[in-house]
Amino acid sequence: MSDVKNISERISYKKHPDFITLVISPRLEEKKQLLLSFWFFAWTFCGLVFISQLFFAKTQEFIISLIVMISFWAYYEYRIGYVWMWRRKGVELIKLEDGKMTYKRSLRSMGKAYDFYVDNIRNFGLVEIKPTSFGAVMSNSFWVIGGERLRFEYQNKEVKIGIQLSDEEADKLRRFLNDLFIDELKKLKEQGRPLASV
């Protein structure tokens, strides 16, 4: 029997003897994933057509135009390719251990981990979103990586996590993490260990 438990369909956690891990999945509905895949492969095909035309170009002006188009294509090929891979293989990882939260956006185990001492986390809560704003619509679109729903302040910097969680998921995760933070602070005090400086 698995020790993995679910906070929601996209958020799971596992309690280990000395630490706890959480996983936030960015998976899409099947229709949206298919649409994203179609867009990515169609964009790739268009780029290959542009590149093939370099071998048939007869004028310098046409070659320059093609290079400009290919440069534009390559930039967005990378962007949409990364989103496509993220939706298929990426996860947000959170580990809470020994008074420290480690956060990582992991794509096939690649990605940088960031450490945050729990006693230095301030103003932990939900990101306020204006649903009618253009920025909110774009950041919550399935073709981008963004729209984080939880925020906190750490050493005078704002940190956001929880990519495109629903209101219900974000609130459940907020309450769950808040309880974990309180437990971690209690452990540190019981052990008589100094808290990290602000």
Nearest to 45 by CA among 92, 80, 88, 89: 80
Q: How far apart are CA 179 and CA 53, in angstroms?
A: 59
Q: Has residue 135 got a pLDDT over 70?
A: no
**Is the CB of residue 125 less than 8 Å from the CB of residue 174?**
yes
E strands in the chain: 5-6, 11-15, 19-24, 90-97, 100-107, 113-117, 121-126, 148-154, 157-163
pLDDT digits (tens, 9 = 90+) for 53-101: 988 888 888 889 999 999 999 999 999 999 999 998 999 999 999 899 9
For residues 155 and 141, which has the higher predicted lDDT (pLDDT)?
Answer: 155
pLDDT for 139? 63
Q: Kindly state the helix (H) or strand (E) to which residue 166 belongs, with its residue range.
A: none
Q: How far apart are CA 144 and CA 142, in angstroms?
A: 6
| Helix, coil or strand: residue 106 | strand
pLDDT for 188? 81
Q: How far apart are CA 179 and CA 176, in angstroms?
A: 5
Q: Has residue 192 got a pLDDT over 90?
A: no
**Residue 20 DSSP symbol:** E
**Is the CB of residue 8 less than 8 Å from the CB of residue 172?**
yes
Q: Has residue 179 got a pLDDT over 80?
A: yes
| Helix, coil or strand: residue 134 | helix
